[in-house]
């Protein structure tokens, strides 16, 4: 019997592979038998990541590239095709919020650092659009492929202090729907595009606003917990299953979808 959930031997390009989420997904894909291309801006860090993956017995390749530079991505695409001959999966993991685009509790929109706004929207929108443009073209040529984008709870409703990040992730949700429609209409039903919307996970980018120095919850985190029925933060490994599912044949009739992985945050009114 065919394993509907298998991604074995699939070639998966993961942007932001040197980060926590990208690293977790890379490991899970290797363990599932996929071939992983770790993409990032620092070759040394990528090499270390690939060593971790090959030590697990996996097939992995480190490729230095900038997700906001088309020429850099096209050069990466050539290297990947030279080694593997195809690209089956693209995980657009690179992105996130930045301090320069984060308002303090006392600030309003009119205190926004507009350079920070431009940087965070560029990173999160074009940092997904450009890889989709370059690697999606390979999928169109071969007639099959899967693209997974990362949206956010901030795309569902307003989250204070992170206007640029929120706007960018809302754009990613819409872009996912648009690209899913375009690729299916133009290139057939074997190319799918979906997005995952993580709830609240502790990471380097948000640790300072979610946890106090002693590890206790900040006032912001207490509000998050009040609206999260599961009453905890997510563990990064809890994103792996839904991403693998979306990339497998088990999800063959799913495209343009946004899947929340949030402990119930998006479902609960708070009352």
User: Distance of CA 118 to CAs 101, 125, 159, Å?
Assistant: 8, 10, 18
Q: Which two tokens stand for residue 47?
A: 């090499």
Measured distance CA(159)–CA(187) in Å, rounded: 37
The one-character DSSP state at 211 is B
Joined tokens for residue 212 = 């106090």
CA–CA separation, 148 vs 243, rounded Å? 7
CA distance 221 to 236: 17
Catalytic residue among 84, 130, 156, 165: 165
Any catalytic annotation for residue 133?
A: no
3-state secondary structure 15-77: ECCCCHHHHHHHHHHHHCCCEEEEEECCHHHHHHHHHHHHHCCCCEEEEECCCCCHHHHHHHH
Structure tokens at 45: 């860090």
Which positions are annotated as active-site residues? 165
């Amino acid at each position: 019997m065919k394993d509907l959930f298998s991604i074995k031997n699939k070639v998966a390009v993961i942007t932001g592979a040197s980060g926590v989420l990208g690293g977790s997904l890379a490991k899970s894909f290797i363990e599932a038998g996929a071939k992983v291309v770790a993409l990032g801006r620092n070759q040394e860090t990528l090499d270390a990541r690939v060593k971790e993956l090959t030590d697990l017995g996996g097939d992995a390749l480190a490729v230095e590239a900038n997700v906001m530079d088309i020429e850099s991505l096209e050069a990466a695409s050539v290297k990947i095709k030279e080694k593997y001959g195809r690209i089956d999966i693209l995980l657009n993991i690179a992105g996130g919020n930045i301090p320069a685009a984060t308002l303090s509790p006392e600030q309003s929109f009119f205190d926004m650092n507009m350079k920070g706004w431009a940087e965070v929207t560029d990173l999160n929108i074009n940092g997904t659009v450009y890889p989709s443009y370059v690697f999606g073209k390979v999928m169109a040529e071969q007639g099959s492929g899967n693209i997974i984008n990362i949206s956010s709870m901030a795309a569902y409703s307003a989250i204070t202090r992170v206007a640029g990040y929120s706007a960018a992730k809302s754009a990613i949700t819409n872009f996912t729907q648009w690209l899913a429609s375009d690729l299916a209409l133009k290139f057939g039903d074997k190319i799918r595009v979906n997005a995952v919307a993580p709830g609240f996970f502790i990471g380097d980018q948000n640790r300072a606003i979610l946890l106090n120095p002693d590890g206790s919850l900040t006032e912001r985190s207490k509000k998050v917990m009040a609206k999260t029925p599961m009453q905890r933060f997510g563990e990064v490994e809890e994103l792996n299953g839904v991403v693998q599912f979306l990339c497998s044949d088990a999800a063959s009739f799913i495209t343009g979808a946004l899947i929340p992985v949030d402990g119930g945050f998006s479902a609960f009114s708070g009352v």
